[in-house]
Amino acid sequence: MSDATTGSKDHVEVYSGTARSFHWLMAVLVLLQLPLGLYMAYRGGDLGIFDRFTNNMYTTHKMLGVILLVLILLRFLYRLVNGAPEELATLEPWQKTVSMLNHWGIYALLIGTPILGYLGASYYGALNIWGFFNLPALVGVDKKVAEVVLAYHGWAATVLLALIVLHIAAAIYHHTVRKDLVLARMMPGLLKKRDKA
Ligand code: HEM
Ligand code: HEM
Measure the CA–CA gap between 81 and 7, rounded to whole angstroms.
26
Kindly give the distance from the C-alpha atom of residue 38 to the centroid of ligand 2, in angstroms, as a whole number. Answer: 22
Q: What per-residue confidence (pLDDT) applies to 2?
A: 52
Measure the CA–CA gap between 196 and 167, rounded to whole angstroms.
28
Measure the CA–CA gap between 85 and 185, rounded to whole angstroms.
8
Kindly give the distance from the C-alpha atom of residue 167 to the centroid of ligand 2, in angstroms, as a whole number. Answer: 7
- Pairing status of strand 2-3 against strand 128-129: unpaired
Kindly give the distance from the C-alpha atom of residue 54 to the centroid of ligand 2, in angstroms, as a whole number. Answer: 31
Judged by average pLDDT, the poorest of 87-91, 143-147, 193-197 is 193-197
> What is the length of the chain?
197
Measure the CA–CA gap between 170 and 183, rounded to whole angstroms.
9
Mutate which of 21, 33, 111, 186 for ligand 2 pocket (most atoms within 8 A of beta carbon):
186
109-123: pLDDT as tens digits: 999 999 999 999 999
Type of residue at 140: G
CA of 120, closest atom in ligand 1 = 35
Those residues with Cβ within 8 angstroms of residue 3's Cβ, 6 or more apart along the chain or in another chain: 13, 14, 15, 16, 17, 188
pLDDT reading at 7 higher than 50: no
Determine the angle formed by the axes of helices 52-82 and 17-41, rounding to 10 degrees: 150
Q: What is the pTM of this model?
A: 0.94
Ligand 2, atom 34: closest residue by C-alpha: 103
Kindly give the distance from the C-alpha atom of residue 169 to the centroid of ligand 1, in angstroms, as a whole number. Answer: 24
pLDDT reading at 9 higher than 80: no
What mean pLDDT, rounded, does the chain reach? 94
Q: Please tell us whether the domain made up of 14-196 is placed in CATH 3.40.640.10.
A: no
Task: List, in sequence order, every residue forming a beta bridge with 76; answer none if it has no partner.
Answer: none
Spell out the alpha helix ranges (H) of the chain. 17-41, 52-82, 93-124, 143-173, 182-186, 189-196
Q: What is the mean pLDDT of residues 141-147?
A: 98
Mutate which of 61, 107, 127, 134 for ligand 1 pocket (most atoms within 8 A of beta carbon):
61
Kindly give the distance from the C-alpha atom of residue 117 to the centroid of ligand 1, in angstroms, as a whole number. Answer: 5
Type of residue at 103: H
Closest ligand to Cα 45: 1
Q: Where are the domains of the chain?
A: 14-196
CA of 147, closest atom in ligand 1 = 41
Kindly give the distance from the C-alpha atom of residue 79 to the centroid of ligand 1, in angstroms, as a whole number. Answer: 25
CA of 84, closest atom in ligand 2 = 40
42-94: pLDDT as tens digits: 999 999 999 999 999 999 999 999 999 999 999 999 999 999 999 999 999 99
Q: What per-residue confidence (pLDDT) applies to 193?
A: 73
